[in-house]
Structure 1
Amino acid sequence: MQRQTRTVLLGAFAAAALTALGAIGWVALTPTPAQTAEDHMPTPPQPPRLADGPEFERCLGLLRNDPEAARAFAEAWGRAGGGEGARQCQALALLSLGEPALAAQRLETLATQSAASSLARAAVYAQATQAWLMAGEANRAYGAATLALTLSPEDVDLLVDRAVTLGSLSRYNEAIEDLDRALALDPNRAEALVFRAAANRHMDRVDLSARDIERALQSDPASAEALLERGIIRQLRGDTVGAREDWQRAITLSPNSPTADLAAQNLALNEAGPARR
């Protein structure tokens, strides 16, 4: 299933800084409203969708550039009988406007009540998953991701989404199980390899983590997330110079992103030395 929502998770992925550098968790999934609206707008997928037609396309166009106007349009469209398309666009506008919990609740309700196909409903549950993560509600995100997988059990993106929620809950073994399934379906999926590397590192399986990161970089040499994680692994192994190079490269490849922020934090802590950690 093709989903632009994938960028929310990848753009926000922060593979966790070293314990030695001051651990800051497995993922950072709280982009600001401005980041969400401008850089990571989770617009609906290509077919199957809940709705189609000129009104829906107009709402999506507004959503990308003016979420407040999209919300107003969706509300008016809904009053005129816009149905599920209007409800979905309105929920996504709320997400762009910095109300992820309200957006998540509406998306989840919509996916539950919709008469659309299983795949279309799964895509809406996936959007609810990411909105719950952005709201800091990992347990609710896990529930939505599980409902999505019930409808589309072999969707690689959905498996990765749920693995992220499990990692947010420190349930790393379960996250690895989902990522193993995802990689069995798509062995070269770089983000799945990066997430599995982070999970294995949290389980003190650094050799497995390093192996996955090298595979991820073979698949996508420009993956800032993979470089962030490889820098952490290199630092754990005592390769401070290599770690610094990876983090600097991650910043260059993905400036003004949560990944770049974490890389910069790691660089600063690295430069400060053991006395400042």
Structure 2
Amino acid sequence: MARHHSPSMLCNRIALSGLIASIALVASAVAAQPSASPTLEDVAYQDCLSLARRQPEDGFAHAQTWSETGGGLPAAHCAALALIELKHYADAAARLEALLPLAQKQVPHLSVQLLDQAANAWLLADQPQRAKALLDIALQASPDQADLLIDRALASAALQDHSAAAADLSRALTLDPTRAEAYALRASARRHLKDFGGAMEDAETALAIEPRLPEGLLERGILRAQTGDRSGARADLIQLRMIAPDSPAAETAGRVIEQMDVRAE
């Protein structure tokens, strides 16, 4: 996670549960070859993933044992995902990255997704430069994937390159203009670039698409606070903390409220 004291685009987007959920969506396909019906290996892989999500320590141990008895790519991938659940992000990222040559041979059609998983794990490990390098490769192979562009924007924002982040988000929104989170993230990038009018427009668009989006409420709340609309800012930030009390965005909202109160005093 980003460790900046000011609100950051990275902490707005990457809530751990959401990232793990997105990784899990791809995980179910990474080791499976296209087939008419699930194989025994497919079933074993799904069982391993399920255990890794429910009981990650047991899931990791199971994956290690399976790997030692010929589990191959599915077992290694399951072990890496269990490590993400255990918050051993750097170890998980390194394992996922190490799987790329094997994935390229066995499931080349899923290599881009694996690159994205490894990059997201590096983001969680506070290593955005490594994440961006992998996402650059992924986007060379698949330049029209909005998710990859959004993830690279996160890496760029963590590196304080908000111009690059805004450019990637604009491209992502050209590909898919319904992505509320991308509008909220671009609002953050534009706010850092001092384009406050554009930032507010993006925050409002994000909330028009998804009225309870925590990141949209955060950005609008910050922008309202900066323009002196303390009551509007407080309403947005309190609503955010009620909707997603344990999220990074809620933590940032709490700091903004405290800063407003100090200024008022």
Asked whether the equivalents of residues 119 and 151 of structure 1 are also in contact (C-alpha less than 8 Å), the reply is no
Go from structure 1 to structure 2 and tell me whether the alpha carbon gap of 1:116 and 1:185 turns closer, same or farther (over 3 Å shift): farther
Q: Could you tell me which runs of 5 or more consecutive residues in structure 1 were left unpaired when the two chains were aligned.
A: 1-11, 17-21
What is the CA–CA distance in structure 2 between the aligned matches of 1:99 and 1:65, rounded to whole Å?
Answer: 16
| Post-superposition CA distance 1:206-247 (Å, at most 9, x none) | 001111111111111110110000001111111111000000
What is the CA–CA distance in structure 2 between the aligned matches of 1:29 and 1:234, rounded to whole Å?
Answer: 17
TM-score of the superposed pair, with normalisation by structure 1:
0.84
- Residue of structure 2 in register with 1:49 after alignment: 30
- Residue of structure 1 in register with 2:198 after alignment: 208
- Residue of structure 1 in register with 2:6 after alignment: 23
What is the CA–CA distance in structure 2 between the aligned matches of 1:130 and 1:53, rounded to whole Å?
Answer: 24
RMSD: 2.5
Which of 89, 92, 99 aligns to 2:88? It is 99
Which of 112, 125, 128 aligns to 1:135? It is 125
Which structure has greater helix proportion? 2
| Post-superposition CA distance 1:110-143 (Å, at most 9, x none) | 1233124444111111111111111111100111
What is the CA–CA distance in structure 2 between the aligned matches of 1:244 and 1:232, rounded to whole Å?
Answer: 9
**Residues 1:272 and 2:262 aligned together:** yes
* Alignment map for 1:1-277 (pairs within 5 Å): 23-28=6-11, 36=16, 40-41=20-21, 42-45=23-26, 48-51=29-32, 53-114=42-103, 115-273=105-263
Go from structure 1 to structure 2 and tell me whether the alpha carbon gap of 1:47 and 1:99 turns closer, same or farther (over 3 Å shift): closer
Go from structure 1 to structure 2 and tell me whether the alpha carbon gap of 1:264 and 1:119 turns closer, same or farther (over 3 Å shift): farther
SS of 1:160's partner is helix
The offset of 1:248, in angstroms, is: 0.3
Go from structure 1 to structure 2 and tell me whether the alpha carbon gap of 1:181 and 1:116 turns closer, same or farther (over 3 Å shift): farther
SS of 2:144's partner is coil
SS of 1:28's partner is helix
What letter corresponds to residue 24 of structure 2 in structure 1?
T
What letter corresponds to residue 90 of structure 2 in structure 1?
A
Percent of aligned pairs sharing the same letter: 35
Asked whether the equivalents of residues 222 and 253 of structure 1 are also in contact (C-alpha less than 8 Å), the reply is yes
What is the CA–CA distance in structure 1 between the aligned matches of 2:19 and 2:110, rounded to whole Å?
Answer: 23
| Post-superposition CA distance 1:37-77 (Å, at most 9, x none) | 79945325276422361110111111111001111111111
TM-score of the superposed pair, with normalisation by structure 2:
0.88
Q: Could you tell me which runs of 5 or more consecutive residues in structure 2 were left unpaired when the two chains were aligned.
A: 33-40
After TM superposition, the structure 1 stretch with the greater mean CA deviation from structure 2, 252-261 or 106-115, is 106-115
| Count of residue correspondences | 255
What is the CA–CA distance in structure 1 between the aligned matches of 2:113 and 2:62, rounded to whole Å?
Answer: 22
Go from structure 1 to structure 2 and tell me whether the alpha carbon gap of 1:13 and 1:194 turns closer, same or farther (over 3 Å shift): farther
Asked whether the equivalents of residues 13 and 215 of structure 2 are also in contact (C-alpha less than 8 Å), the reply is no
